[in-house]
Amino acid sequence: MPNISRYVDISEVDKEAKKDYIDRHSPFITCASSAKAGEKFAVNVRMGNEYSHPDDTDHYIKSIQLFNGTTLLAEANFVAGALGGTGAKGQAEVTFNVVPSGSKMRLTALSYCTKHGLWECDPVEVSVTE
């Protein structure tokens, strides 16, 4: 089963290696807390907050998917080497632009590491105003 790992607050994690492991595999969503219906709204997703992930050919971040609730909004696919290549580390990052409708969005990101599988972040709520 493609188990999905979830972010846990690394300030409550003791071991440095585990902090690094969790942080670099977790997608972090940055966006405004409210959006206007019908207008373009930028959503940035970056892998890792304090740590960086390898960009090796056999170990890299392959994709980031952005969901609103259970609905896929957009997806970015990366190739090994685009963040510096073997030996380098980086934070895969993409900015999507969506036009919201409804009264709120509940955004989550789901990422895939070629060695450590699927990871998701906590949902980010965005209110949508007319």
Map residues 54-93 to x or -, x wherever contact with a second copy holds by CB under 8 A.
-xxxx---x--x-x--xxxxxxxxxxxxxxxx--x-xxxx
Neighbours of 37 (CB within 10 A): 13
Which of residues 3, 9, 12, 17 is near a second copy by CB under 8 A? 3
Our CA angle for 98, 101, 102, nearest 5°, is 140
**Which tokens belong to 59?**
């170990």
Q: Is 129 in the site for a second copy (CB under 8 A)?
A: no
Structure tokens at 61: 């971040």
Please tell me the distance from the alpha carbon of residue 93 to that of residue 120, in angstroms, as a whole number.
15
Where on the chain is the footprint of a second copy (CB under 8 A)? Answer: 1-4, 38, 40, 55-58, 62, 65, 67, 70-85, 88, 90-99, 101, 108, 110, 112, 114, 116-118, 120, 122-123
